[in-house]
Structure 1
Amino acid sequence: MGFLNLEGKKFLVMGVANRKSVAWFIAKTLEEEGATVIYSVRSEARKETTAKLLKDKPVYVCDVENKEEVLKLAEDVGSDFGTLDGLVHSIAFANYSEGFKPFHETKREDFLQATAISAFSLVEVSNAFKPYLSKTASVVAISISSLTITAENYGYMSPVKAALDSSIRFLAKSFSKDTAVRFNTVNPGTLKTSASAGIPGYLESYLFSEKLTFRKQALNTQEVANAAVFLLSDRSSGMNGTGLTLDAGMGINYFDAEVVKLAMRPEEKGGES
């Protein structure tokens, strides 16, 4: 029996897209700890593209934008596996098909769709799975560390992720009326994932944030998975309704001497004649 005591436990992981996915790192870490992982992907097409990665594993299809599919997922997983010990929500979507726009130009339909998929889906999933969660199950959602930072190239997804974090706190309170199910988020800094590659200007943000870390090394996805698996385990029983920030110090290192020096160089050159 390992420190995390995950042997024989069952978890649903939502959001695996490829080998770089945070969800995939969490799932394989859970399996390494002896847990059974049930997978949910968003479409039949995604099921096909992940077929090699998820070979011989239980995979269900659920588009969380459709509440009927969420209900069916809960019924099917509950029927096939019974009680779950937790679930992972690693799902986010933003429509950048028209390119990046200033926040005030965000379209209502885009904002509402992103909110429905990235934040409110957690509420619907939790509600649908409530009858199938053990009394002390743990629900973990993947958020971001920079909820109070106005990252221009992340656009309207920052307030959407803020809604996700707030929802976690309200779910923790709501479920506490008749269960001991816990709800927490992992809030990582910038990561190298396929999803992040689609964010305009992300590479520059990634390199900048790496310089702001104390260790001068960006977060890696396995570190995020380790934190999520800890939150899924009973070893984190004292944590509920909280966000666990993982950013290697980035968020409190604004006045790093190296970064300040680099930022002032253009001004210094501009003053030369």
Structure 2
Amino acid sequence: MSLSMSLEGKRGLILGIANRHSIAYGCAKVMAELGATLCITYLNEKAKPFVEPLAEELGAELLLPCDVSVEGELESVFHEMEKRWGTVDFAVHSIAWSPLDELHGRLVDSSAEGFCKAMDISCHSFVRMAHQAQRLMPDGGTLLTMSYEGAEKVVDHYNLMGPIKAALDSCARYLASELGEQQIRVHSISPGPMPTRAASGIDHFDELMEDATSKSPLRRLGTPEEVGTLAAFLVSDMARTQTGNRIFVDAGRHLIG
């Protein structure tokens, strides 16, 4: 039997594109190439000039502002998709944020304000996205978020974001359980270190990439498009019996202590 992966007829949301190097862009690119119809968001007016040309290149039907820390913006995105499409088939959450001083400092010194804001933007926004998406997925769908190895191991300089990514992984599992009856599948994807804008805020990130390359069994890093290939598979009908997984795209780095 010959199988080929197609996303023709599927419509979905991509949150988190900052530029061409974003993991979210890698997901959008692969999904668009496989026939998906996309809604792409940009953080604010300052970010729009960087994202708008990419949305045009990908043939996105919707380009909307979405700062998840601004009340009502995420909800407005789903309202617009409902008006345009009625239903959606998938949503990709590729957002992470922390105050730099908190990210660069010790977890034990983190402030309640910084920790809570980082948790809200990086983790609870995925729960809020799921809450909005469920009503637009009457026939099921797929929700994806981006984790990291630092969620389960102590990674130098990852600090505050480690516990937050651990919470995000747990949320994905609980959402998979809660939404399964609606045939909504939920996964977290764990890319290895990649030279993205978000990752550039981590101290000594070049050293982290070198370590990942030298210790991974495949002796290389993954790419945003390789993350996109996995994401496309997970939202496709070929993965319709899979949910609740945490899947690595790190050339095997997670295997090595």
Q: Does 1:136 align with 2:137?
A: no
C-alpha distance after superposition, 1:80-137 (max 9, x if no partner): 1221111100011011047721111111111111110111001111111221124221
Q: CA deviation at 1:152?
A: 2.8
Distance 2:124 2:254 in 1: 26
Q: Partner of 2:115 in structure 1?
A: 111
C-alpha distance after superposition, 1:193-213 (max 9, x if no partner): 121112111111110111001
Distance 1:16 1:167 in 2: 22
Task: Indicate the percent of aligned positions where both proteins have the same amino acid.
Answer: 28
TM normalised by structure 2 equals 0.93
- How many aligned residue pairs are there? 253
User: Which of structures 1 and 2 has the bigger CA Rg?
Assistant: 1
Q: Could you tell me which runs of 5 or more consecutive residues in structure 2 were left unpaired when the two chains were aligned.
A: none
Q: CA deviation at 1:192?
A: 1.7
Amino acid at match of 1:245: F
The 5-angstrom pairing of residues 34-183 of structure 1 reads: 34-55=35-56, 57=60, 58-97=62-101, 100-177=104-181, 179-183=182-186
Contact 1:47 1:59 in 2 (8 A): no
When residues 99 and 131 of structure 1 are mapped into structure 2, their CA distance, relative to the original with a 3 A threshold, is: closer
RMSD: 1.8
Instruction: Choose from 191, 203, 206 the match for 1:203.
Output: 206
Q: Judge which range, 220-229 or 27-36, deviates more.
A: 220-229
Distance 2:157 2:241 in 1: 35
Amino acid at match of 1:238: T
C-alpha distance after superposition, 1:8-40 (max 9, x if no partner): 211111111000001111101111001111112
Amino acid at match of 1:71: E
Q: Does 1:33 align with 2:31?
A: no
Q: Partner of 1:216 in structure 2?
A: 219
TM normalised by structure 1 equals 0.87
Distance 1:21 1:2 in 2: 29
Q: CA deviation at 1:2?
A: 7.0
Amino acid at match of 1:65: S
Contact 1:102 1:152 in 2 (8 A): no
Q: Could you tell me which runs of 5 or more consecutive residues in structure 1 were left unpaired when the two chains were aligned.
A: 255-273
Distance 1:48 1:215 in 2: 37
| Equivalent position SS for 1:133 | coil
Amino acid at match of 2:14: V
